[in-house]
């Protein structure tokens, strides 16, 4: 049996990968794990429900959104720019982490995660939310509902969600420009 | 507000048809109508109440009379139309808001004649056009069931129709033209199951209200019964015997679909999903069989198997944009070969929706996702992509239909496909088997 | 590979897992989802596309004639009978502690209990008293309310988000096997894999086990997956092989939660509300392999009393074998199921008697010194009463009637309810063992190695923090799940749960022997048991390293003037009034220079009390609550001391002088260390959809001194979410429609989401510890249990209907509301 091959070029965490030959029909998570050594995105359910596998897709219109790599084929990402959990923290020229992102730092400070399996997905979801609020702030009174809506699809089995949600809420409330007055 | 487009109905210039003679007929109703009166006290034997509950489910009262997130049978579902919005009413036995003062005769008249207790005409958003065929005994049983429910103090919302459609009297004329004692049979048959099925489908299930095309004044075009119609965003497909067989349906598949929401041919989505959840899944196996018997007739046509695609066309499409898009965005769940995943994701191969001549529903599914599902369809699909997909999945024979033409739906950003499965928790009983075996 | 390959190479499961690692051709499968073959692919893409062809494809396996499922004897059955004395403090007439549990034989695969005889053997006597309880409940005094009810809890999946996996490679030339496995029980895997290879035709010289930080909720504790990983590695042609479940596989092959059926009869005196008698028959469906089914079912049986004192009780329990999937030590371990049923029943009885449901609990709560249903007095101060009092005064409870009236009036079609559940639960397994090594560097940096595995509960953080009690700062570097302990050789043999006292006495003469080596991370055992060994190691370093170093710095006479217990750590400096505060770094330097103790490795064993022993450290007799100790001396130690340091890391292995192991009799009686928890829930039932909206919940826990309060609150939040799932959402059919068919995933198995758990509206309180020395207690597993009954009791308050089968799904609510 021969497996058809398709070319893929994708920019991940600011670095272009490819063009490379990818067996047609591989999901993006397989490419990240098996071909690129980026194993931080987690396979949780494989059917697009738990959202442990989401990466951030940076669209040309400067918006960003989550994409589930377990059910999205590699082909979808051809020519696109994405961020994975490996690219979230700031690193120096040697690749050493010098600063965590505000979301990552808040998750650490607030003991948000336990086993950590769902954490990359939560970091990405919260990052996308923060970026959205930069473009379109919400009234302070709506922050909790906004956080809940943005994270609802992410499954966590360990934490009961409370410390994740609280950390994201606090990041939003303490970052200038993400909220406006009102309820 | 989230609106379930359960039955968007059409009312056209029926007002003009309301002739003077009709007005006289209507006046008689109005004069006999009442508003006050005593609370009705109904005592019915438990078996009648139970039968009433079953019939109320078979007649799917809750689909309209229970708003999403609302109080059971206390109304509130908005049914928008080009002429304004009608709200389903409170049919709990609350004396002030519901039917607490209605007698069994009043209730019968609403179901049979489309006339409220106060004598006002109902709009045919209430499917009395179908319920007219109901037996008095069945109507009384439903009444008995409703009257023993907990009364709910939920006020009715006023119908918001524009002039002149807000003149209810006009419906009297419409009724003279379009209210029939019985609806035509859509299949050939005579067996007891077929007879029962005809009653369940035509009357209680009021299937024709969605699946039969509507004429210019909102009437069911009975000569084209069950040939399909797009009342809402998702079109109700052709469910004539020929239409069903052409898309591969068999009686067993229909039973599975109506009983569980899921068959090899596809899953219930859009407006059909609540029909399954609230109504058909509660039918007894015998009644489900009867429904299937009626829909296909006593001698069901053989299901048409899908013609194998032209190998040349397949080969030519190997590098086509449609195939590439399918692999990128659909194959993760529906499979490279379109087989889906059992109990999880419907197959695309032999899928009934893909075999419809009109690609509308496929496009809507891709735009909106289905139920709890959040495919990348809506988020990531361009119009051109959707057209390609509709074309590809249907073997290139589709009439191209622009997604822009349909607009964007509300797009449910939920994940997975739970709602499309509608699985009954039958296994819970099994779960106890182990203990039963030991004498519990 | 098929069973034929394994047979050829004499590869089989370790005994614990039973036979037929792969189903042999021609044999009826023992259970749904039993493994048949392992296919190894050398290339990912091929694997991926082959999988698409094979998964969900019923034609892949060729079936023979229909035989029907196997019928097998239950995995085990036992009966726990107690007839108490005049008061809860008097001698029992009959109890497990005094006489023992009653064991059953099997006839036609059903348990048969012995013939009763007052003066017969223990079993016969037990049945005599059991029958007397039965008779009394059948013909109760007029003032008794006797209620009999059937309860059932669901089969479920623990749903650790990381599915089971095992990675390994085998170097045939060197006969080295390398395994990288996520497991809660690394020691068990190491031993099991070694045993497996020892019995096989395949040679093994060295086994390298790399356990990972993971998560399991019991599904990775004594889990078969690592052994399939061993097989895959052995047949991998020298390549590294990755065996990893996807979610469908995990539902199909992961260890499941036992389904429980429980018939309870409870008698309460109407006037006083005093509980009189309790009889239960518990059947747990253990599925296709025994695994821990017997132990778990017995824990369920001996926990069924919940927080109450019963003068008489008779609890029979059977773990049955069936064609359901194999079940493991799912979170809650039997107690979750049996206690939930009790809490539902007590609520119903309170209703029937017209007594406030928390009042009724308070009237019957087991207090310190009272006997439990096995006739044993639980260890320590019992604080369930304090939890109940706190709950009774909580505004969620006190205002519930008025709030229901107001809420229901304002929300037609919604029914408001408040419910409560309370339990107390042993933490630990009754044979806890672990190792810890604490070492001070010259600059005062602290390194901790521990046998415990991090499973997401924060054990690594809490163990690091635990060092601070003796060393003034948390560990700087940490190594968890350590399986290789060259510095502290410990030998073990026999089963700590079943060995005789004579055997234990004999074996204990070997100074390296202990009844158990190292425990899995499970049963909420880190806070108390792991911490104990960490702190014993740190204490030895403090007392024989840092303290003498401090005395040396403070000068002559200090030893007479200040005592170690007078000292306190402040800002990482050891301070004693009137003396110069000494920073840890300076002390470490001094201890190293003087050749004092700068490192200690310990092994501890606990069977509801700690093993203890004497050791001679540097000429000084040291008593410690450990059964093994090695020490390392600082670099300045003289040649004589250095010569004693025989291990690779220059530790001196000490021969213990006098050892005292907890008696084996402790195995019969679930004395235990208890943690008490109570939860109040407030919810609204939607009559239209049958859905339950959890509005608020509040949990009250007592767990001693917290090591890290954020971890405690995180465990409460996570555990309550699990409880919510089990009360309302999660279940699996047992048999043909169940997960064995390979089509289950999160689309049908609803794991609670943020919107299900009252994420913004939940609170918790931890009762103040009894003293500053009260040890931290395990609480994670416990905290998820009472919310289950609290939810179901709240639904009863809301709708008037008492559900007795879990989960309470919308369809079932709609059925009763109709």
CATH number of the CATH domain containing A103: 1.10.150.120
- pLDDT value at position B267? 86
Residues of A with CB under 8 A from a CB of C: 1, 3, 23, 25-26, 30, 34, 42-47, 49-50, 52, 110-111, 113-118, 144, 148, 151-163, 165
In a mutational test of the A interface, the residue from B315, B325, B332, B341 whose CB has the highest number of chain A CBs within 10 Å is: B332
The set of chains that have 3 or more CB pairs under 8 A with A is: B, C
Residue of chain A nearest B381, judged by CA positions: A76
Condensed to tens digits (0 to 9), the pLDDT of residues C165-187 reads 999 999 999 999 999 999 999 99
Average pLDDT over residues C20-24: 97
> What average pLDDT is seen over chain C?
95
| Residues of C whose CB is below 8 A from B369 | none
In a mutational test of the A interface, the residue from B314, B315, B325, B327 whose CB has the highest number of chain A CBs within 10 Å is: B327
Residue of chain B nearest C109, judged by CA positions: B438
- Residue B30: band (very low, low, confident or very high) from pLDDT cuts 50, 70, 90: low
- pLDDT value at position B390? 52
User: How does pLDDT run along chain A (183 residues), one tens digit per residue?
Assistant: 688 999 999 999 999 999 999 999 999 999 999 999 999 999 999 999 999 999 999 999 999 999 999 999 999 999 999 999 999 999 999 989 999 999 999 999 999 999 999 999 999 999 999 999 999 999 999 999 999 999 999 999 999 999 999 999 999 999 999 999 977
Of B72-76, B134-138, B142-146, C310-314, where does mean pLDDT reach its minimum? B72-76
Q: How far is CA B63 from CA B59, B278, B396, C264, in A?
A: 9, 7, 37, 41
Residue of chain B nearest C750, judged by CA positions: B418
Report CB contact under 8 Å: A49, B336: no
Report CB contact under 8 Å: C732, B431: yes
Q: How far is CA C253 from CA C480, C742, C744, in A?
A: 28, 9, 11
Which of A40, A62, A87 represents a domain boundary (last residue)?
A87
What's the rounded Cα separation, in Å, for the pair B344 and B421?
7
- pLDDT value at position C670? 65
Report CB contact under 8 Å: B343, C743: yes
Residue of chain A nearest B335, judged by CA positions: A25
Which of the pair, B374 or C292, is modelled with greater confidence? C292
Report CB contact under 8 Å: B434, C322: yes
- pLDDT value at position B29? 53
> Is residue B176 over pLDDT 70?
yes
DSSP C697-743: EEEEEE-SS-S-HHHHHHHHHHHHHHHHIIIII--B-SSTTSGGGS-
* Reported CATH class of domain C3-68+164-244: alpha beta
| Residues of B whose CB is below 8 A from A24 | 327
Report CB contact under 8 Å: A76, B329: yes
- Residue C437: band (very low, low, confident or very high) from pLDDT cuts 50, 70, 90: very high
| Residues of C whose CB is below 8 A from B88 | none
> What average pLDDT is seen over chain B?
78
Condensed to tens digits (0 to 9), the pLDDT of residues C747-776 reads 889 999 999 999 999 999 999 999 998 999
Report CB contact under 8 Å: A161, C217: no
Report CB contact under 8 Å: C760, A148: yes
Residues A110 and A173 in one domain: yes
What's the rounded Cα separation, in Å, for the pair C76 and C570?
55
- pLDDT value at position B27? 55
Nearest CB neighbour to B431, from listed C155, C318, C748: C155
- Give the H/E segment covering residue C780: helix C780-783
CATH number, domain of A82, equals 3.10.20.30
- Residue B363: band (very low, low, confident or very high) from pLDDT cuts 50, 70, 90: confident
> What CATH topology corresponds to C432-667?
Aldehyde Oxidoreductase; domain 4 (3.30.365)
Say if residues C566 and C577 touch (Cβ distance below 8 Å).
yes
The encoded tokens of residue B233 equal 């965003």
What's the rounded Cα separation, in Å, for the pair C28 and B272?
43
> Residue C638 CB: number of other CB atoms within 10 A?
9
- The percentage of chain C sitting over the pLDDT mark of 70, rounded to a whole number, equals 100
C47 and A CB contact within 8 Å: no
Residues A49 and A118 in one domain: no
- Residue B28: band (very low, low, confident or very high) from pLDDT cuts 50, 70, 90: low
- Residue B164: band (very low, low, confident or very high) from pLDDT cuts 50, 70, 90: confident
Which of the pair, C17 or B373, is modelled with greater confidence? C17
Say if residues B301 and B240 touch (Cβ distance below 8 Å).
no
- Residue C574: band (very low, low, confident or very high) from pLDDT cuts 50, 70, 90: very high
Nearest CB neighbour to C413, from listed B70, B342, B427: B70
Cβ contacts of residue C410 below 8 Å, gap of 6+? none
Residue of chain B nearest C693, judged by CA positions: B69
Say if residues C150 and C263 touch (Cβ distance below 8 Å).
yes
- The percentage of chain B sitting over the pLDDT mark of 90, rounded to a whole number, equals 43
Report CB contact under 8 Å: A48, B336: no
Residues A94 and A75 in one domain: no
| Residues of C whose CB is below 8 A from A154 | 754
Residue of chain C nearest B338, judged by CA positions: C52
Residue of chain B nearest C733, judged by CA positions: B427
Say if residues A27 and A35 touch (Cβ distance below 8 Å).
no
B160 and A CB contact within 8 Å: no
- Give the H/E segment covering residue C432: strand C432-440
Report CB contact under 8 Å: A155, C718: no
Report CB contact under 8 Å: A158, C49: no
- pLDDT value at position B367? 77
Residue of chain A nearest B375, judged by CA positions: A48
- pLDDT value at position B312? 82
Q: Are strands C312-320 and C275-285 parallel, antiparallel or unpaired?
A: parallel
Say if residues C757 and C694 touch (Cβ distance below 8 Å).
yes
Nearest CB neighbour to C734, from listed B416, B424, B434: B434
* Reported CATH class of domain C256-370+381-427+673-817: alpha beta
- pLDDT value at position B203? 98
Residue of chain C nearest A153, judged by CA positions: C753
Q: What is the pTM of this model?
A: 0.92
Contacts A–C by Cβ distance under 8 A:
131
What's the rounded Cα separation, in Å, for the pair C450 and A23?
44
Cβ contacts of residue C244 below 8 Å, gap of 6+? C163, C164, C165, C166, C167
Which of A46, A69, A87 represents a domain boundary (last residue)?
A87
| Residues of B whose CB is below 8 A from A47 | 333, 341, 344-345, 416
| Residues of A whose CB is below 8 A from C215 | 114-115, 117, 157-158
- Residue B24: band (very low, low, confident or very high) from pLDDT cuts 50, 70, 90: low
> Is residue C726 over pLDDT 60?
yes
Nearest CB neighbour to B415, from listed A51, A67, A74: A51
Say if residues A98 and A54 touch (Cβ distance below 8 Å).
no
Nearest CB neighbour to C755, from listed A26, A46, A148: A148
Average pLDDT over residues C516-537: 95
User: Number of helices (H) and strands (E), helices first, in chain A?
Assistant: 5, 9
Condensed to tens digits (0 to 9), the pLDDT of residues C116-151 reads 999 999 999 999 999 999 999 999 999 999 999 999
Condensed to tens digits (0 to 9), the pLDDT of residues B254-292 reads 999 999 888 889 888 888 888 988 899 999 999 999 999
- pLDDT value at position C564? 87
The encoded tokens of residue C283 equal 């059947």
The interface pTM score, or ipTM, of the predicted complex is: 0.97
Report CB contact under 8 Å: B435, C261: yes
> Is residue B366 over pLDDT 90?
no
> Is residue B83 over pLDDT 70?
yes
> Is residue B212 over pLDDT 60?
yes
Which of the pair, C801 or B36, is modelled with greater confidence? C801
- Residue B372: band (very low, low, confident or very high) from pLDDT cuts 50, 70, 90: low
Residues A33 and A109 in one domain: no
- Residue B433: band (very low, low, confident or very high) from pLDDT cuts 50, 70, 90: very low
> Is residue B21 over pLDDT 70?
no
Average pLDDT over residues C318-340: 97
> Is residue B7 over pLDDT 90?
no
Number of domains in chain A: 2
- pLDDT value at position B84? 83
- pLDDT value at position B319? 77
Domains in chain C: boundaries = 3-68+164-244, 256-370+381-427+673-817, 432-667
- pLDDT value at position B378? 31
- pLDDT value at position B313? 78
Which of B206-240 are b and which e, b meaning 16 or more Cβ less than 10 Å from the residue's Cβ? bbbbbbbbbeebbbbebeebbbbbbbbbbbbbbbb
- pLDDT value at position B362? 85
| Residues of B whose CB is below 8 A from A71 | 332-333, 376
- Give the H/E segment covering residue B263: strand B262-263
Average pLDDT over residues C373-394: 94
Which of A87, A118, A140 represents a domain boundary (last residue)?
A87
Average pLDDT over residues B152-180: 84
Nearest CB neighbour to A24, from listed B327, B374, B416: B327
> Is residue B396 over pLDDT 90?
no
> Is residue B348 over pLDDT 70?
yes
- Residue B391: band (very low, low, confident or very high) from pLDDT cuts 50, 70, 90: low
> Is residue B421 over pLDDT 70?
no
Contacts B–C by Cβ distance under 8 A:
118
| Residues of C whose CB is below 8 A from B72 | 413, 687-688
Residues 265-324 of B with CB under 8 A from A: 318, 324
Closest CA of chain C from A148, distance in Å: 7
Domain containing residue A174: 90-180
Report CB contact under 8 Å: C687, B425: no
């Amino acid at each position: 049996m021969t497996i058809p091959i398709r070319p893929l070029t994708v920019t991940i965490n600011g670095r272009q990968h490819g063009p490379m030959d990818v067996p047609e029909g591989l999901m993006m998570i397989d490419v990240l794990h098996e071909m690129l050594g980026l194993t931080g995105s987690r396979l949780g359910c494989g059917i697009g429900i738990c959202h442990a596998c989401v990466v951030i897709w940076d669209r040309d219109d400067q918006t960003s959104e989550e994409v589930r790599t377990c059910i999205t084929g590699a082909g979808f990402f051809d020519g696109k720019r994405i961020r994975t959990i490996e690219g979230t923290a700031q690193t120096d020229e040697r690749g050493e982490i010098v600063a965590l992102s505000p979301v990552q730092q808040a998750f650490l400070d607030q003991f948000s995660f336990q086993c950590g399996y769902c954490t990359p997905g939560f970091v990405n979801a919260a990052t996308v939310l923060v970026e959205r609020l930069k473009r379109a702030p919400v009234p302070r009174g709506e922050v909790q509902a906004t956080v809940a809506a943005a994270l609802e699809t992410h499954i966590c089995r360990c934490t009961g969600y409370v410390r994740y949600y609280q950390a994201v809420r606090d990041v939003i409330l303490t970052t200038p420009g993400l909220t406006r007055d009102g309820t | 507000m989230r609106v379930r487009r359960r039955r968007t109905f059409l009312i056209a210039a029926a007002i003009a048809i309301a002739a003077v003679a009709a007005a006289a007929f209507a006046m008689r109703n109005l004069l006999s109508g009442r508003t006050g009166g005593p609370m009705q006290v109904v005592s019915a034997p438990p078996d009648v109440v139970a039968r009433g509950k079953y019939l109320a489910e078979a007649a799917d009262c809750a689909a309209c009379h229970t708003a999403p997130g609302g109080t059971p049978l206390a109304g509130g579902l908005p049914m928008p139309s080009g002429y304004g919005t009608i709200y389903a009413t409170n049919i709990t036995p609350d004396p002030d808001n519901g039917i607490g003062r209605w007698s069994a005769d009043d209730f019968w008249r609403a179901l049979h004649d489309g006339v409220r207790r106060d004598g006002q005409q109902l709009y045919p958003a209430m499917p009395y056009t179908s319920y007219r065929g109901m037996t008095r005994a069945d109507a009384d049983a439903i009444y008995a069931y409703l009257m023993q429910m907990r009364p709910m103090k939920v006020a009715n919302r006023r119908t918001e129709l524009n002039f002149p459609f807000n003149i209810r009297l006009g419906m009297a004329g419409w009724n003279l033209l379009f209210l029939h004692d019985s609806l035509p049979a859509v299949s050939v048959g005579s067996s007891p199951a077929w007879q029962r099925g005809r009653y369940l489908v035509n009357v209680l299930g009021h299937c024709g209200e969605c699946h039969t095309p509507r004429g210019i004044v909102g009437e069911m075009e009975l000569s084209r019964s069950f040939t399909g119609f797009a009342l809402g965003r998702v079109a109700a497909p052709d469910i004539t015997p020929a239409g069903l067989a052409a898309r591969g349906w068999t009686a067993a598949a229909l039973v599975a679909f109506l009983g569980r929401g899921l068959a090899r041919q596809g899953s219930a989505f859009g407006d059909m999903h609540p029909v399954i959840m609230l109504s058909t899944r509660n039918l007894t196996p015998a009644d489900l069989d009867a429904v299937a018997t009626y829909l296909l007739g006593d001698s069901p046509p053989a299901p048409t198997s899908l013609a194998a695609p032209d190998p040349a066309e397949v080969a030519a499409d190997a590098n086509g944009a449609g195939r590439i898009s399918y692999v990128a965005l659909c194959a993760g769940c529906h499979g490279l070969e379109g087989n889906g995943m059992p109990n999880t994701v419907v197959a695309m191969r032999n899928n009934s929706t893909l075999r419809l001549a009109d690609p509308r529903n496929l496009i809507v599914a891709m735009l909106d996702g289905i139920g709890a599902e959040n495919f990348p369809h809506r988020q990531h699909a361009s119009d051109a992509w959707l057209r390609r997909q509709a074309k590809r999945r249907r073997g290139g024979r589709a009439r191209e239909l622009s997604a822009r033409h349909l607009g964007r739906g509300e797009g449910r950003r939920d994940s997975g496909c739970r709602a499309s499965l509608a699985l009954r928790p039958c296994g819970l009983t099994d779960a106890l088997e182990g203990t039963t075996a030991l004498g519990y | 590979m098929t069973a034929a390959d394994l047979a050829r190479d004499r590869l089989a499961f370790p005994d614990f897992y039973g036979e037929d690692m792969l189903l042999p051709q021609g044999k009826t499968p023992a259970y749904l989802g039993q493994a048949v073959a392992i296919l190894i692919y050398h290339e990912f893409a091929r694997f991926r596309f082959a999988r698409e062809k094979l998964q969900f494809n019923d034609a892949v396996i060729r079936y023979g004639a229909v035989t029907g499922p196997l019928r097998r004897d239950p995995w085990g059955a036992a009966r726990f009978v107690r007839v108490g004395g005049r008061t809860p403090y008097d001698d029992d007439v009959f109890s497990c502690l005094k006489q023992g549990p009653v064991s059953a034989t099997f006839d036609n695969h059903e348990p048969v209990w012995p013939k009763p005889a007052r003066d017969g053997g223990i079993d016969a006597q037990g049945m005599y008293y059991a029958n007397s309880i039965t008779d009394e409940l059948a013909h109760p005094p007029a003032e008794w309310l006797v209620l009999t009810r059937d309860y059932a809890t669901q089969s479920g999946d623990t749903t650790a988000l990381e599915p089971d996996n095992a990675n390994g490679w085998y170097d045939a030339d060197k006969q080295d096997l390398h395994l990288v496995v996520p497991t809660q029980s690394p020691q068990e895997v190491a031993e099991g894999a070694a045993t497996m290879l020892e019995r096989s035709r395949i040679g093994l010289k060295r086994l390298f086990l790399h356990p990972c930080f993971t998560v399991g909720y019991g599904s990775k504790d004594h889990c078969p997956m690592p052994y399939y990983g061993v097989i895959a590695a052995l047949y991998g042609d020298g390549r590294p092989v990755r065996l990893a479940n996807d979610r469908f596989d995990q539902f199909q092959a992961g260890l499941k939660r036992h389904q429980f059926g429980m018939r309870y009869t409870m008698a309460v005196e109407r006037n006083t509300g005093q509980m009189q008698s309790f009889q239960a028959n518990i059947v747990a469906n253990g599925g296709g392999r025994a695994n821990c089914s017997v132990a778990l079912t017995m824990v369920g049986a001996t926990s069924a009393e919940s927080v109450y004192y019963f003068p008489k009780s008779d609890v029979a329990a059977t773990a049955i074998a069936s064609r359901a999937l194999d079940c493991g030590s799912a979170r809650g371990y039997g107690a979750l199921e049996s206690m939930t049923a009790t809490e539902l029943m007590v609520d119903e009885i309170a209703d029937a008697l017209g007594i406030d449901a928390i009042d009724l609990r308070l009237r019957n709560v087991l207090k310190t010194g009272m006997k439990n249903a096995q006739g044993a007095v639980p260890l320590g101060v019992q604080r369930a009463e304090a939890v109940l009092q706190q709950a009774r005064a909580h505004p969620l409870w006190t205002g519930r009637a008025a709030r229901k009236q107001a809420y229901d009036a304002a929300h037609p079609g919604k029914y408001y309810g408040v419910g409560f559940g309370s339990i107390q639960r042993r933490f630990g397994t009754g044979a806890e063992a672990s190792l810890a090594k604490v070492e001070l560097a010259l600059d005062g940096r602290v390194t901790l190695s521990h046998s415990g595995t991090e499973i997401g509960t924060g054990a690594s953080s809490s163990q690091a923090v635990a060092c601070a009690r003796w060393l003034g700062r948390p560990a700087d570097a940490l190594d968890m799940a350590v399986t290789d302990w060259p510095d502290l050789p410990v030998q073990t043999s026999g089963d700590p749960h079943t060995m005789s006292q004579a055997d234990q006495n004999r074996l204990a003469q070997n100074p390296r022997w202990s009844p158990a080596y190292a425990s899995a991370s499970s049963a909420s055992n880190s806070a108390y048991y792991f911490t104990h060994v960490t702190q014993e190691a740190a204490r030895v370093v403090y007392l024989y390293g840092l303290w003498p170093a401090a005395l040396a710095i403070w000068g002559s006479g200090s030893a007479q003037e200040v005592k170690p217990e007078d000292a306190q750590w402040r800002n990482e400096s050891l301070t004693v009034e009137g003396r110069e505060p000494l920073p840890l770094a300076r002390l470490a330097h001094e201890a190293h220079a003087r050749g004092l103790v700068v490192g200690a490795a310990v092994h501890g064993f606990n069977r509801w009390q700690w093993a203890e022993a004497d050791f001679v450290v540097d000429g000084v007799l040291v008593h410690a609550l450990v059964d093994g100790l090695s020490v390392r001396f600082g670099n300045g130690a003289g040649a004589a001391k250095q010569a004693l340091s025989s291990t690779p890391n220059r530790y001196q292995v000490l021969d213990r002088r006098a050892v005292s192991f907890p008696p084996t009799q402790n195995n019969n009686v679930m004395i235990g260390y208890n943690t008490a928890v109570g939860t109040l829930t407030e919810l609204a039932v939607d009559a239209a959809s049958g859905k339950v909206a959890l509005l608020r919940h509040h949990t009250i826990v007592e767990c001693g001194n917290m090591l890290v309060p954020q971890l405690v609150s995180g465990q409460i939040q996570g555990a309550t979410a699990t409880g919510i799932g089990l009360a309302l959402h999660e279940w699996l059919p047992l048999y043909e429609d169940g997960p064995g068919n390979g089509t289950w995933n999160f689309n049908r198995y609803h794991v609670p989401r943020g919107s299900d758990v009252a994420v913004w509206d939940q609170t918790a309180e931890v009762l103040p510890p009894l003293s500053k020395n009260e040890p931290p207690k395990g609480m994670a597993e416990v905290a998820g249990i009472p919310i289950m009954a609290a939810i179901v009791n709240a639904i009863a308050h809301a709708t008037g209907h008492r559900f007795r089968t879990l989960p309470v799904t919308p369809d079932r609510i709609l059925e009763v509301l109709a």
